[in-house]
Amino acid sequence: MIFSVMTLFPDMIRQALSESIIGRAVKDEVISLRCFDIRDYSTDKHRRVDDYPFGGGGGMVMRCQPIYDCYQDLVEKTGVKPHTVYLSPRGTVLTQKKAKELSALPHLAILCGHYEGVDQRILDEIIDEEISIGDYVLTGGELPACVLIDCITRMLPGVLAAESAYENESHYNGLLEHPQYTQPRCWREREVPAVLTEGNHRLIEKWKREESLRITAKMRPDLLRRPVPDGKRLRFPAKEDQEQLLTMMQAFYQTPGVLHDIPPAHIQATLDRIYGGAPDINAYLIQFERKTAGYCLLSHAYSNEAGGLTVWIEEVYILPDFRGHKLADKALREIFRLYGSSAKRYRMEITPDNLSARSIYARLGFKDLDYRQMIRE
Ligand code: SAM
């Protein structure tokens, strides 16, 4: 994979990525690291790359000209327009999922800002997406570029030894990793958990999974709000499912159990939240014989009365061709299993005369709530 970095400080990038595992990936040519010094492209006689911001305010802003000429040279040298990222504190926060997605690209171009940032017009001209490495501000995009390159590179084939595969690490499967131990078995009267030393692989795997869940619940309970499905009965919608999901949502609002249609803009906004990874919403596609048979839309809220996370079952829809297989019932049971003890309550709305749905939900353990709902919009 090729990384082309546009920066004012190419040595920062080269040095940071010259050691250890990533340094070896560069030497072994698993990745090709190309740094472009933006200053080399300045047409200013003093090689200046920045200027005062229009409208006042402190600091300097990087000008369009040197960055654009640098970008054009990069495109000319590589012969293609690569996917181009600007590292910025206002971007979408980097996740393992995003890094995995980017790792499939043959070539990634990265623009590092400095000072107060860069002129908006160059971003509008050349940038495909903005990525942040966290909700804080650094002096430049060089360290974030190294973070992004490191995170992508270690997932490329041949970079990590098979036994330290990244698939078992924190975040890859939506959970944090279990604790790790090495020799000696006892250190300052602290023993390694016995199960790890007894050689029963089934029990070791069980311990790892339970510890992983325990640590995630303690350190990052927010991660448990989008439990990762196994892909057989339920799966997360991928980009290419967006159109079908939209059609199914429209169809859901035409079913007799629904009292009010909703504007198309609401459905689009919901899809944007799902695909943007918003923590208050979760959607699964329901699978039957490896085909999409329907979907389920859930939303998350904290409830004092329930004493924890309440999962609202907003929409469950099965496509007509797949009805009669109890798929809604099976999908909901799978959802209860996935959320496990992290969900204290499930809630849903149902019209009083929808008797068939009421009996399905009663079988699943739902009971009537003695409140009427009121809303204000
Ligand atoms: N004025 C900008 C603002 O308030 O959003 C901050 C500019 S920052 C001082 C300079 C450069 O550092 C940015 O252009 C960006 O490239 C990089 N940078 C700073 N914090 C970052 C972060 N959290 N993630 C990614 N890049 C960051």
Per-residue HEC secondary structure of 82-144 comes to: CEEEEEEEEEEECCHHHHHHHCCCCEEEEEECECCCECHHHHHHHCCEEEECCCCCCCECHHH
Q: What percent of the chain has pLDDT over 90?
A: 75
Place of tokens 């019209």: 351
CATH of the domain at 329: 3.40.630.30
Instruction: Report the mean per-residue pLDDT for the chain.
Output: 93
Residue 321's DSSP bridge partners are none
Task: Please report how the helices 264-275 and 242-252 are oriented relative to each other, as an axis angle in degrees rounded to 10.
Answer: 140
Task: Answer yes or no: do 271 and 198 share one domain.
Answer: no
Report the nearest-CA residue for atom 12 of ligand 1: 140
pLDDT at 163: 52
Q: Which residue has the higher pLDDT, 110 or 210?
A: 110
Residues in CB range of 160: below 8 A, 6 or more apart: 21, 154, 166
Q: What percent of the chain has pLDDT over 70?
A: 99
Q: Which residues line ligand 1 (CB under 6 A)?
A: 87-90, 112-114, 116-117, 132-134, 136-141, 144
Residues in CB range of 330: below 8 A, 6 or more apart: 233
Question: How remote is the CA of residue 39 from the centroid of ligand 1, in Å?
Answer: 19
Question: How remote is the CA of residue 204 from the centroid of ligand 1, in Å?
Answer: 43
pLDDT at 217: 80
Binned at pLDDT 50, 70 and 90, residue 197 comes out as very high
Question: How remote is the CA of residue 34 from the centroid of ligand 1, in Å?
Answer: 22
Binned at pLDDT 50, 70 and 90, residue 162 comes out as low
- Tell me the mean pLDDT in the region 67-71: 98
Report the nearest-CA residue for atom 5 of ligand 1: 89
List, for residues 124-144, the tens digit of each pLDDT value.
999 999 999 999 999 999 999
- Tell me the mean pLDDT in the region 49-75: 96
Question: How remote is the CA of residue 121 from the centroid of ligand 1, in Å?
Answer: 17
Task: Answer yes or no: do 284 and 333 share one domain.
Answer: yes
Q: Which residue has the higher pLDDT, 51 or 218?
A: 51
Query: For 104-108, 131-135, 186-190, 371-375, which range has the lowest pLDDT when averaged over its residues?
Result: 371-375
List, for residues 9-18, the tens digit of each pLDDT value.
999 999 999 9
Residues in CB range of 340: below 8 A, 6 or more apart: 213, 227
Which residue range(s) make up the domain with 147?
2-153
- Tell me the mean pLDDT in the region 40-69: 96
Round to whole Å and give the CA distance between 212 and 7. 39
Task: Answer yes or no: do 201 and 318 share one domain.
Answer: no
List, for residues 207-225, the tens digit of each pLDDT value.
998 898 889 888 887 787 7
> HSE-up of 352 (CA within 13 Å, CB side)?
4
pLDDT at 86: 98
Q: Which among 58, 1, 12, 59 has a CA at the least distance from the CA of 38? A: 12
Q: Say how many domains are in the chain.
A: 3
List, for residues 265-284, the tens digit of each pLDDT value.
999 999 999 987 788 899 99
pLDDT at 297: 98
CATH of the domain at 205: 1.10.1270.20
Task: Answer yes or no: do 85 and 195 share one domain.
Answer: no
Task: Answer yes or no: do 190 and 285 share one domain.
Answer: no
Residues 154/156/158/162 CA torsion (nearest 10 deg): 60
Binned at pLDDT 50, 70 and 90, residue 164 comes out as low
pLDDT at 352: 85
Task: Answer yes or no: do 26 and 65 share one domain.
Answer: yes
Binned at pLDDT 50, 70 and 90, residue 38 comes out as very high
For the cut 70, the answer to whether the pLDDT of residue 4 exceeds it is yes
Tell me whether residue 368 is in a domain: no
pLDDT at 252: 95
Q: Which residue has the higher pLDDT, 331 or 165?
A: 331
Residues in CB range of 52: below 8 A, 6 or more apart: 60, 61
